Amino acid sequence: MKKKIIIAIIIATICVSGSNATRALAAGQAMVSKEELKKQKAEAEGKAKALEGEKSKKQGELNSLNSNMESVSKQVQDTNDKIAETQKKISDSKEKIKAAEKKAKKQYNDMKIRIQFMYENTADNMVADIFYSKNMAEFLNRAQYVSDVFEYDRKKLDEYQETLDGIKKLKSELEAENKQLSSQQQKLKAQENVLNANIQKQTQELKSTTDAYNSQKGQAQDLDAKIKKMEAYEAEQERKRAEEEARRQKQGEGDKNPPVDYTGQAIVADTSDEYLLAAIIQCEAGGESYAGQVAVGSVVVNRVHSPAYPSTIAGVVYQSGQFTPAGSGRLALVIQNHKVSASCQKAAKQVLAGNINTKCLHFCVNTGNISGTVIDNQVFY
């Protein structure tokens, strides 16, 4: 029954708080708590840093592959040049072989004609020509002439044959070299293809890593902007509250309901109220010391006891214009995402049991303009 009454009070309090608070709470559902944003930012920055290292590594691997590709491409080009040069030599050697064979064939035909001429004139006529020489000198000259003709033809044929054999040998060597170069070229081409495929793969991986890095970097920047915007909003609200309180204190208005010591007066609260109290402590003093967290909880409990404020934890927390995180939606997100620390939960239990450390009803960021009890970065008055 009590829980139903508390829920009804919460709904009524939110309605009374006005359209601005309602809109803020509605907008807050799409927000994330500052602590969660900071956590997400840290995660995004961590991922970005890891991706930056991965990006540098992949860039180095890509540079190495490109260097290897450049080297292999040069080898391929050099091999192509050698193949072209060798093929030209082979072509030239073929022409030389044809010319040598043609010349040898002509020499051979000329020799056959001379031999045929000698035989057609019969051996007797040749012998007669030799023996009917006028003298021995003429005889010897004619005999020597015949011998020289045969010797010349034989020598020329041998020379042409030797030249032909040399050219054929060179051609064979060039063809073997060309075959070897072609095989080398195929291997280099295969290596070039593998490198090209690796370069394309590495380039794509580098692009993906770079995109992921840029995404994480952009996400971290967006989160940082959101954090700053949220901090600016809350700081502005705190500033206005502090200025208003400083003005009131200066003009001697003060609080019409001076603080009363409620130490030892426990509050019976169900689990949801206790967690709500811990959540507002988390929002207002999550980064403060335990004493600062207890002090914030004490302010809430003191207000519940005070006749000037709503008599429930929910009523106090959601009262219009009192707790900035409740209006900004950050409180709702802290509760929704279960982001309350163990320390803040402990502080909530302590103050609900009546163990408060201040009898103040107000607190704000300490700017030095408000007199009160300073605990950490906040002043309680």
**Where do the structural domains in the chain lie, given as residue ranges?**
51-218, 255-380
Q: Does domain 255-380 have CATH number 3.90.1150.10?
A: no
Cβ proximity of 3 and 269 under 8 Å? no
What's the pLDDT at 30? 38
Residue 258's pLDDT band (boundaries 50, 70, 90)? low
Report yes or no: 31 and 333 within 8 Å, Cβ to Cβ. yes
Chain-wide mean pLDDT for the chain? 78
C-alpha distances out from residue 73 to 82, 186, 193, 204, 210, Å? 14, 12, 10, 22, 28
Label residue 176 exposed, middle or buried (CB < 10 Å: 0-12, 13-18, 19+).
exposed
* 345 compared with 96, residue with greater pLDDT: 345
**294 closest CA partner among 304, 303, 284:** 284
Fold of the domain spanning 51-218: Helix Hairpins (1.10.287)
- What pLDDT, on the 0 to 100 scale, is given for residue 344? 97
pLDDT above 70 covers a percentage of the chain that reads: 79
- pLDDT tens digit sequence for 19-38: 333 333 333 433 456 667 77
Amino acid at position 233, single letter: Y
pLDDT the model gives residue 327: 81
Query: What's the pTM value of the predicted model, to 2 decimals?
Result: 0.46
pLDDT at 288: 95
Query: Which has the closest alpha carbon to 227: 28, 38, 25?
Result: 38
For residue 243, the Cα-to-chain-centroid distance in whole angstroms is: 48
